[in-house]
Structure 1
Amino acid sequence: MDLHTVEQWVDARTVDAWRPGDAWLAGGTALFSAPGVHLRRLRDLGGTGWEPLVEDPDGRLEIAATCTVARLAAHPVALFGQCCRAFLASFTIWNMATVGGNLCAALPAGPMIALTTALDGGCLLLAPDGAARTLPVTAFVVGDGRTALREGELLRSVTVGPLPARTAFRQASLSTLGRSAALLIGTRDADGAMTLTITAATPRPHRLRFAVPPTAGELREAVEDEVEHWFDDLHGHPAWRRHLTFRFAEQIREELS
């Protein structure tokens, strides 16, 4: 979609003063998918040169906000590929869409939100004056299309890991090439702890952690206590999304127990 109100494109490295109508531009697949009549200037992050993936000695992986879906999908961890394929997008989108863009769009079905939530991701946010703060992904995405970003703030990267010993993935859509109606991820650490991440069926991501794998009843009760609202749009009725969530949660529990 053309953004007819945009008057200027600038390299993000060459300007520092944030003004009304500014927007950060990475891949642009989310930014150019809506009219954006309030936009006047795009601050392009393409020349920042941020390394897409950086792993530290402790096994934690920093994913730059500008890392493309295609680059992440090439990582050998199976869960990365599973989440990337949940986009149900063409190779053109894969090579343009970024991890940061998917998080900042904050769509309930965002698979990068599911992935980084499941891996206990932490978001590094930079303000126009250079101040930095960090938030877990579960606090960064606060609702359908809503994040905790302040005016002019930038998502620099998401750090995840160390990677769990085992993972389980479940996803369903109303149609073959439709947006996810429910996307759940389970993880099991070497110490036996288990987590369950719920996305797409809910307006924001939820992550439940158990010291040991719960019983079926304990898991169901934990989900009922955690989730207050089920998402409702043309991609799935709330009651159906709730049903899928409980069904997939139990499958994941059995797989990881």
Structure 2
Amino acid sequence: MKIPAKLKRMLTQLGFLMIVAIIAWQELHRPPIKSPSDAYPYLTSISPALVKQCIHENRTAPTIPLEELIAIRSTIPESEAQALINQLKNQVPFSAIDWGLLSKVTQNKVKRHKEILNQYTYYQPNVYKFPVIGTTWFGDSFGADREGGIRRHEGTDLFGKEGTPIVSICGGKVEQLGWNRLGGERVGIRGDDGNYYYYAHLKSIATTLVKGNRVQFGEPLGTMGHTGDALTTPDHLHFGIELPNGQWINPYPFLAVWQYWDEEKGS
């Protein structure tokens, strides 16, 4: 029996719609991206000063990838690190480095750190954006006592003038929006990297934001304020990073480097 051409077209369209629906369902129900247990402890242990040193060094030797410089300098002492970097400056590929007397354990550690820096691009330029547009100051207060030691500070406070614009550090999806007791007016973004980025104590939230919708790198989220439990403190943005496993990590080293990249771009 011959199937009419119109019915064929309808069946083809129905099949296409079913495939799209299956793909969409899989995306919506895909489990969160899991991070290796060694990735973030290493990333947050790197001092911003060392990253900036490697950025300057990369400018004098641009053929050496930044992640190779950071991996070497953050893992082994200066005297041993320089011998390896000199080889890279002489066009020796990382894979062909003469490790000298360094143990196999140390060699594997450097290689693993290079892999992490390649995969988690927090220290690369133009991948993440500093969240405050304007004058701000901040320190490393992660883990400090809050409410008399009842809880710990799970982020970094960036102080500035009320109304200072706040933007998204990366692309992602709006997961939380509006008021809660501690954060006041807050925005929560599930980044494209799988992490949850928390922006709290805002004076106002951008009216363009809709829960469930996407935001882009650098998109306005709102303005700095002191809402929630920050009512009696100076105006500031509380910025937090929560991994898919529910662990909050220290944003300070990332923020310091993102600010540096932004300042470099503007200079």
TM-score by length of 1: 0.23
- Identify the structure with bigger relative contact order (alpha carbons < 8 Å, sequence gap 6+): 2
Larger radius of gyration: 2
Name the structure with the higher helix share: 2
Name the structure with the higher strand share: 1
